[in-house]
Structure 1
Amino acid sequence: MANFNEQYSRKNNVKILNWKEPEKTPRRTDNANEKTKGENLRQELIKILKEKVKVILPKIFPNVVNFPNCTGPDPIPKLLKKITGIPGKKDHPRPVIVKFVNTETKVKVMRQRKALKKTFTVVDDVTKHIMSLITKLSNDRKLNLARAYYFNGHVYGVTEDERRHRYDIDILDDDEESDAE
């Protein structure tokens, strides 16, 4: 149940991998006009979403003015709730978590993520528990899965002949309990 609650809290999040961050600036500055690293990430992401994904929010969301604090000519910044860099592997770009105001915005970006492939990779932000299930399914030769993925609260596996199977997220709990005995 705790895993479900944690994953539910991440439903509006995506994780960005292999993104070369914009030029680094100090975290805290004495000059109020200088931008911090987080603001650079935010501005860079907004620019990429406009150019590559061609997110034109008034067409995608006709009622965009109904979002809280979402007025003015450019609503994209208002639909990005938070952008946070998280620790990653040494000598690799750190992963970045992007939290959108709502799931609809996240889904629109996820559907157009192919346009972002040359810039960075966009994936769902999933818990360690779900990621280990996906890894376990992908590596299990008995299942003969071509790929495993997370979508809309469930983990799926696709066989070589394109048959899709849904796996219960609690499958790992059963395995961990049997290992403990």
Structure 2
Amino acid sequence: MKTVQKITLCAAAVAALTSAAVMAEADPMKAFPPAEEGYQRVVIQLPKVKNPELYRVQLIPGQVMNADCNTRSLRGDIEEKTAEGWGYNYWVVEKVGPGPSTMMACPPGSTRKKFVPVYSGDDDLIRYNPKLPLVVYVPNQLELRYKIWSAPEQATIAKQP
């Protein structure tokens, strides 16, 4: 292949990548599908931090409901998916249903509204990326809460006993 053709192909590739990046920057939600029927799209924009590799995000979907003194939870899946043609990750909360509960005898009047979280069995923490929105699709009856976890810059040395 001639040098001019190689340069032209390289320039075209750079232009295509640049235009895709500019389009995503202009409307970052363009890359993500709209919410399906019965779902809401929740968007979290993480703040910029000095060392993002030291941070992780925990997604905590759940529902505020009347609950007594028993410990309650819901079961469900949090599936990671990729926006086709873009390569950006997003998450979908699915298959939410009743979960385990303790069976203690609660005193009368102990029922109150509280947040009951969905446990998926996978307590994976999501990589912290403040450059892109963190997009999660949640069933309409749920809300999404999240925690940001951080680690110290220095690791602790393990010693033999």
TM-score normalized by the length of structure 2 = 0.26
Q: Which structure is higher in RCO with an 8 Å CA cutoff and minimum separation 6? A: 2
Whichever structure has more helix as a proportion of its residues is: 1
TM-score, normalising length: structure 1: 0.24
